[in-house]
A and B are shown apart, each in its own frame.
Chain A
C-alpha cells in the first residue's frame, strides 16, 4: 500500500496533471500552472521524511502529483499512504499509541477531533503558519470553529474541503432514462417517477440491464439513501455526526419513525418488488455497484459527486447525466442539512509526536490559499470540492461537475451544530454506542425482506437510539461533562436557511 511519491509518475497522473496544467494556462488571469510549488513559508529541514495518510480516492490523484513536485522542490521525502477507512481505523490509533503515527493524518471515522485532542493524539499547528489569523481569514465564515477544529484557542484541524455535498444524488445512463421517457436534468424525478423509470428501464433491459443499482452490502449506502430521500421529503434531520444524524434539531428527537423515513423505505421495497433492483445488489459493495454503471448494466444509481471525475476520466464514452436525488411527489422539497466546519472526513491534523511541523505548516498553508484551493479543484473536481467558493468559480471543471455543485448550493443548508454551543457534547460522541441493529442494518434488513414491519421496526429503532443516546449522555455526565438532551434543541432553527454564528 505504501507509495513513495518519488516514484515515477503514472501515465494517468501525468495525463491528468498536464491536462489540468494546459487547461489552466488557457485561462487568463487565474492562478497559473496547476500545482506549481510555492516558495516555503518555513525553513524546511533537507532530507527529512514526511508521512501523510488519508482516505485517498480522488484526493490521491492530487496528492500523489503534488507531493512528488513538493518533495523534489524541498529536497525531502514524502510518503503518502492513501488507505481505506477500515485500515485508517487501525493504522492511526496503533501509530499514535506506538509513537509511529504519520506526521499528518485524518482521524478514524469514529474518533472526533475533539476526542483526538482530549487523548493527546494531535498538536496545534498555529506556530507553524506565520500570521495564522490572517491566513484563516481567507477561509469562508464558519470554516474554523471552536469545538470542531479549534480547541482552547489553538488550531488543530485543517478544513480545506467543503462538506456542501451529498452522496445520494442521481447519476443515470442518459440513453436508458430517455428511452423510459424521463429527463431528470430538466426536472428532478419525483419518488414515483423514480420508481416508474426504474421499472421501465428494467423492462427495456430484458435481463441485460436493470433500473436501479446500489452497493447493498455496504450498510451506510442504505442509511444515506433513506436519510436523504426522507430529508428531501421534509424530515428535517442532520446527517453528519452522532449528535445530529436523524435527529430533528428543532425538537431534539429522532425522526426514524417519521412518515418521510417510512415512505422512503417503502419506496425501496416497492422497487424491489417491481423487480427493478440489479440482481445480487445485496451482495455488492459501493465500488462494485458504481463500476456496473459505465458498463451499461444498470440505469440509475444514487451516489456521490466523486463518480463524475472518475467516470469522465476512465469512461469518456459513457453518456451519463447528474441530477437531484428523488424529490417528494407533492409539497415543497426539503433542504439537506450539514454541520458547520469543513468536510469532517477530510479534516487533517498534525500528530502530537511529529517533529515535522514546519513541513506540515508549509503544506497546510498552501492548501489554504486560493492557488492551492484552485489547484485542488482542478484535479479533485466536484468529488471533494474545495472549501473556498472562489476556487470553485475559477477552477477548470467539467460541466457536470459545475452543475452538481450548483445543485448542492441550491439544496444544502448549514444547520446548527450542538458542539459549537456546548463543547462538552464531544464527550457524548466519545461514549455513544449505536444499537447493534442500527439504522443502516435495519434498512438493509427491511429491504432484503428479513424484517417486515416497516413502521414497527422504525419505532423500535427510535426507541433503541434514544436509549443509546441517553446512556451516552449519562456516561458523559458521570465523567463530569455538563450536558443535557436539551443541548440538542434549537427552537430558532429554520432548515431552509443557513444557521449563522449569530443564531446560537
Chain B
C-alpha cells in the first residue's frame, strides 16, 4: 500500500523518469542482460545456430592463455599509466595552483588540449610521430646521437606497450590535473599562511601540509583513473590494432577480435567474446563500487575535518 501511495503521489515525477528509463533500458540495461545471455551460448553472432552451453564459455575463457595474456596487458597498462599520471599531474597541479605564476591559465589550457582532442586523431598523429621512417621523434633521437638506428616503437613488442602507455599518459594528463586542481582549491588559504609563518616551504609544505589534506581525493582520483585506464580500445585500435603479434592486445581488443574480427575464414565467437566482456564488466563494476565507496568516505572525512 505504502509503495502504491508513494507512486501515486509522485506520479508526475515518476512519469518524467520514463523517457530516461526507456533510453537507459535500450542502451544500458538491455545490452547488459543480452551480454550475459549470449555469454551462456556458443554462437557465432550471425546465424541461427545458438547452443546453450551454460558456464562453458567461462570455463574455456579461464583456461585460455591468450585471454590471460590480454588480461595481464590490461593490468600492465593500468599499473603503467595510473601512478605516472597521478604523480606527474600532481606536480603540475601544485605548480599551476600558484596564483602568482604568470601564464598559469595558458599552461593549464595547453595541458588540457589533448584531453579534448578525439582519441583516434591522437592515435594516428602519434603513429606518425613515432614512425621509424621520417618520424620526428626518431629524427630527434638520431640527431642528438642517442640512437644509431631508428627505433620501431610500435612495431616491436619490447617498445609497443611503453609507447602506448606514454601516449595515454600524455593524452589524459590534463583531466587528472583538473581533479588535483579542484582538490587543491579545498586547501584553505590560512593553512598556507600558517605554513609560511613556520617557514615551511617547497617539498616539506607539499608533503607534510597539503598532501594529508587532499589525500581523500587521491583515493577517488586513483580509482577514476584506474577505470579509465581499462577503457583504451580506440587508442590502441588506432595506434597498433593490438599488434605486433598480440604485443598490445589488451582485454577490449581481445573481446573485439573474438567477436568480430576473426581471420582466415574462421567464424566469429560472439558468445565467447560476450563471456570475456561479462568478466571484464564485473571487474569494472568492482572498481566503480570501490570508487563510489571511497568518494563517500573521502567526503565524510573532509566534512569531519571541517568540523574539527
Give A contacts to B, CB under 8 Å.
86, 89-90, 93, 97, 108-111, 115, 119, 210, 216-217, 219-220, 223, 241-242, 245, 278-283, 285, 297, 429-434, 436-441, 444-445, 448-451
In the assembled complex, the CB of A168 is this many whole angstroms from the nearest CB of chain B, namely 16
The reply to whether A111 and B46 form a contact with Cβ atoms under 8 Å apart is: yes
**Interface pick from B102-110, B266-274, B294-302:** B266-274
Is there contact, CB below 8 Å, between B266 and A438?
A: yes
Q: Are A280 and B133 in contact (CB under 8 A)?
A: yes
Asked if A434 meets B262 with Cβ closer than 8 Å, knowing A281-B155, A283-B240, the reply is: yes
Contact A110 B245 (CB under 8 A): no
**Docked CA distance A217–B244 (Å):** 7
Whether A297 and B154, one on each chain, are in contact in the complex, defined by CB atoms closer than 8 angstroms, is no
Tell me the minimal C-beta distance from A453 to chain B in angstroms: 14
Q: How far is the CB of B48 from chain A (nearest CB, A)?
A: 6
Q: Which of A110, A216, A448, A450 contacts B265 (CB 8 A)?
A: A110
A283 touches B263 (CB 8 A): no
Interface string of B125-145 (1 = CB under 8 A from A): 001000111010000000000
Nearest residue (CB) in B for A107 is B46
User: Are A283 and B157 in contact, with the CB atoms below 8 A?
Assistant: no
- Give min CB distance, A449 to chain B, whole Å: 8
Cα A216 to Cα B247 in complex, Å, equals 14
Least Cβ distance of A274 to chain B in Å? 14
Given contacts A110-B268, A280-B132, whether A438 and B244 have CB atoms under 8 Å apart is: no
| Given contact pairs A89-B260, A119-B47, A450-B247, A278 touches B155 in the complex (Cβ within 8 A) | no
By a beta-carbon cutoff of 8 Å, the part of chain B in contact with chain A is 45-49, 64, 66, 127, 131-133, 135, 150, 152, 154-157, 240-241, 243-247, 260-269
Which of A97, A283, A439 has a CB less than 8 Å from the CB of B244? A283
Q: What is the minimal beta-carbon distance from B222 to any residue of chain A, in angstroms?
A: 32
- Which partner residue on chain B sits nearest A298 by CB separation? B133
Cβ-defined partner of B133 (8 Å) among A223, A278, A440: A278
A219 and B267 contact, Cβ closer than 8 Å, known pairs A282-B155, A297-B133, A448-B245: no
Q: Please name all residues of chain B whose beta carbon is closer than 8 Å to the beta carbon of A108 when the two chains form the complex.
A: 46
A448 and B132: CB pair below 8 A? no
Most buried by B among A108, A297, A434, A440: A434
> Is there contact, CB below 8 Å, between A432 and B265?
yes
B132 touches A241 (CB 8 A): no
- CB pair B152–A242 under 8 Å, yes or no, is no
- Kindly list the 7 A-B residue pairs having the minimum CB-CB distance in the complex, ordered from nearest: A282-B155, A434-B266, A279-B132, A93-B46, A445-B245, A450-B245, A280-B132
Chain B residues near A220 (CB-CB < 8 A): 263-264
Question: Which residues in B have their C-beta under 8 angstroms from that of A281?
Answer: 155
Q: Which residue of A lies closest to B67 (CB)?
A: A436
Query: Does the CB pair A110–B262 fall under 8 Å?
Result: yes
Contacts of B64 in A (CB 8 A): 436
Measured between beta carbons, the chain A residues less than 8 angstroms from B127 are 283
Instruction: Tell me the smallest distance from the CB of B104 to a CB of chain A, in Å.
Output: 38
- Tell me, in angstroms, the Cα distance from A431 to B157 when the chains sit together: 33
Nearest-neighbor residue (CB-CB) of B66 within chain A: A436
* Chain A residues, CB < 8 A from B135: 280
Q: B156 — which chain A residues lie within 8 A by C-beta?
A: 282, 448-449
With A and B bound together, what is the CA distance between A448 and B240 in angstroms? 14
B201 to chain A, nearest CB (A): 48
Q: A26 to B66: give the CA distance in the assembly, Å.
A: 60
On chain A, the residues within 8 Å of B267 by CB distance are 110, 430-433
Q: B245 near A433 (CB under 8 angstroms)?
A: no
Instruction: Tell me, in angstroms, the Cα distance from A68 to B280 when the chains sit together.
Output: 48
Decide if the interface of chain B is mainly helix, strand, loop or mixed: loop
Task: Kindly list chain B residues whose C-beta atoms are within 8 Å of the C-beta of A110.
Answer: 262, 265-268
State the CA gap A103–B266 with chains docked (Å): 26
* B244 contacts A216, C-beta separation under 8 Å: yes
A449 to B247, CA, bound (A): 12
Cα A87 to Cα B279 with chains together (Å): 26
Please report the C-alpha to C-alpha distance between residue A33 and residue B50 in the assembled complex, in whole angstroms: 52
- Pairwise interchain contact A450-B263, C-beta atoms closer than 8 A: no
Among residues of A, the one whose C-beta sits closest to the C-beta of B142 is: A207
Q: Which residue of A lies closest to B132 (CB)?
A: A279
Alpha-carbon gap, A144 to B207, bound state (A): 79
Given the complex of chains A and B, what is the CA–CA distance between A220 and B266 in angstroms?
13
Residue pair B264, A439 in contact (C-beta under 8 Å): yes
Closest B residue to A94 by CB, please name it: B46
Known contacts A216-B155, A280-B154, A282-B152; 20 additional CB pairs below 8 A are: A86-B261, A93-B46, A111-B46, A111-B47, A217-B244, A223-B264, A242-B266, A245-B265, A279-B132, A280-B132, A297-B133, A430-B47, A430-B267, A432-B265, A432-B266, A440-B264, A445-B245, A445-B246, A448-B157, A448-B245
Residues of chain B within 8 A of A89, CB atoms compared: 260, 268
Q: How far is the CB of B15 from chain A (nearest CB, A)?
A: 31
Contact residues in A for B154 (Cβ distance below 8 Å): 280, 282-283
Contacts of A450 in B (CB 8 A): 157, 244-247
- Nearest Cβ in chain A — how far from B258, in angstroms? 8
Select which of A90, A245, A433 is within 8 A of B269 by beta carbon.
Answer: A433
A76: min CB distance to chain B, Å: 30
List of B residues within 8 angstroms of A109 by Cβ: 265
Shortest Cβ distance from residue B140 to the other chain A in the assembled complex, whole angstroms? 15
Evaluate contact between B48 and A119: CB separation under 8 angstroms. yes
Given the interface contacts A111-B46, A283-B127, A297-B133, does A451 sit within 8 Å of B264 by beta carbon? no
Give Cα A370 to B64, complex, Å.
53
- The listed residue (A217, A245, A430, A437) touching B243 by CB distance below 8 A is A217
In the bound complex, how far is the Cα of B44 from the Cα of A429, in angstroms? Answer: 13
Task: State the Cβ distance, B256 to closest chain A Cβ, in Å.
Answer: 10
CA distance A90 to B269 in the complex (A): 13
Task: Check B264–A245 contact: CB distance below 8 A.
Answer: yes
Shortest Cβ gap from A318 to chain B (Å)? 18
With the chains together, A193 CA to B131 CA distance in Å?
Answer: 29
What are 14 sample pairs from A and B whose C-beta atoms fall under 8 A apart?
A: A90-B260, A93-B46, A217-B240, A220-B264, A280-B132, A280-B152, A283-B243, A436-B66, A441-B246, A444-B244, A448-B155, A448-B244, A448-B245, A450-B157
Is the Cβ of A242 less than 8 Å from the Cβ of B265? yes
Report Cα–Cα, A285/B135, bound state, in Å.
17
Contact indicator B260/A86 (Cβ below 8 Å): yes
Using Cβ atoms and an 8 Å threshold, which residues of chain A touch B45?
93
Q: How far is the CB of B136 from chain A (nearest CB, A)?
A: 13
- A245→B265 CA distance, assembly (Å): 10
- Cα–Cα, bound, A244→B243 (Å): 27
Whole-angstrom distance between the alpha carbons of A441 and B263 in the complex?
10
